[in-house]
């Protein structure tokens, strides 16, 4: 995600709104804090950080709640917008319906199945979902593509 964000920011004029919703279990689990500060200071980026309930510190100024809840609360516009969701499978699973509720088309929702990969170059056969090799055919897929696969991802 960080590389995607860097690229979007490098090509910032090519995009309209850029919203980054970043969740972690606790404040201590947030990574790249200096970079987050830079993004927070930018006027052309909306950065929302959140931690799970109970994961906040006394000086925490971000959101408290799970990512799907915060996505619903922030409600980024789905018009001409893509959503890229990366993280623990359970978070991804519960974020998809929220994005659908916000009007995002399956073709405009991207995620990665990278966590299924082992060798990463098509030899071990451990990343297959049906006939698809995640390492060779992905690992990034749209939700529309995932819905064409057997329900084993
Ligand atoms: S990760 Fe080994 S075949 Fe895909």
For the 2-109 domain, the top CATH level (class) is alpha beta
Evaluate: CB of 75 within 6 angstroms of ligand 1: no
Q: What is the DSSP string of 71-84?
A: HHHH----TT--EE
The crossing angle, in degrees rounded to 10, of helices 67-74 and 89-101 is 20
pLDDT tens by residue, 34-76: 999 999 999 999 999 999 999 999 999 999 999 999 999 999 9
Evaluate: CB of 127 within 6 angstroms of ligand 1: yes
Residue 53's pLDDT is: 96
Closest CA to 53 of 75, 23, 32: 23
Cα angle 3-116-36, degrees, rounded to a multiple of 5: 25
Task: Give the residue, by CA position, lying nearest to ligand 1 atom 3.
Answer: 122
71 Cβ partners below 8 Å, 6+ apart? 21, 95, 98, 99, 102
Evaluate: CB of 113 within 6 angstroms of ligand 1: no
pLDDT 10s per residue in the chain (153 long)?
999 999 999 999 999 999 999 999 999 999 999 999 999 999 999 999 999 999 999 999 999 999 999 999 999 999 999 999 999 999 999 999 999 999 999 999 999 999 999 999 999 999 999 999 999 999 999 999 999 998 876
Task: Report CA-CA distances (Å) from 98 to 14, 69, 105.
Answer: 26, 8, 11
Evaluate: CB of 117 within 6 angstroms of ligand 1: yes
What residue spans define the domains of the chain? 2-109
Element (DSSP H or E) covering residue 24: strand 19-24
How many A from CA of 36 to the centre of ligand 1? 33
Residue 151's pLDDT is: 81
How many A from CA of 130 to the centre of ligand 1? 13
Measured distance CA(37)–CA(34) in Å, rounded: 5
User: Which one of 113, 121, 129, 138 would you pick to mutate in the ligand 1 pocket, going by the greatest count of ligand atoms within 8 A of its CB?
Assistant: 121
Residue 153's pLDDT is: 61
Half-sphere exposure of 6 (CA within 13 A, CB side): 5
Measured distance CA(92)–CA(79) in Å, rounded: 21
Ligand 1 closest atom vs CA 123? 3
């Amino acid at each position: 995600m960080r590389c995607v964000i860097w690229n979007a920011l490098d090509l910032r004029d090519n995009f309209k709104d850029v919203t980054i919703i970043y969740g972690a279990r606790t404040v201590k689990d947030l990574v790249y804090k200096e970079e987050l500060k830079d993004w927070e200071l930018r006027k052309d980026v909306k950065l929302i950080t959140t931690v799970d309930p109970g994961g906040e510190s006394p000086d925490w100024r971000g959101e408290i709640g799970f990512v799907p809840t915060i996505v619903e609360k922030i409600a980024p516009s789905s018009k001409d917008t893509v959503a890229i969701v990366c993280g623990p499978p359970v978070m991804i699973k519960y974020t998809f319906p929220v994005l659908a509720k916000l009007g995002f088309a399956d073709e405009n929702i991207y995620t990665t199945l990278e966590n299924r990969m082992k060798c990463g170059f098509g030899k071990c056969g451990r990343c297959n979902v049906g006939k698809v090799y995640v390492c060779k055919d992905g690992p990034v897929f749209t939700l529309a593509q995932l819905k064409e696969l057997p329900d084993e991802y």
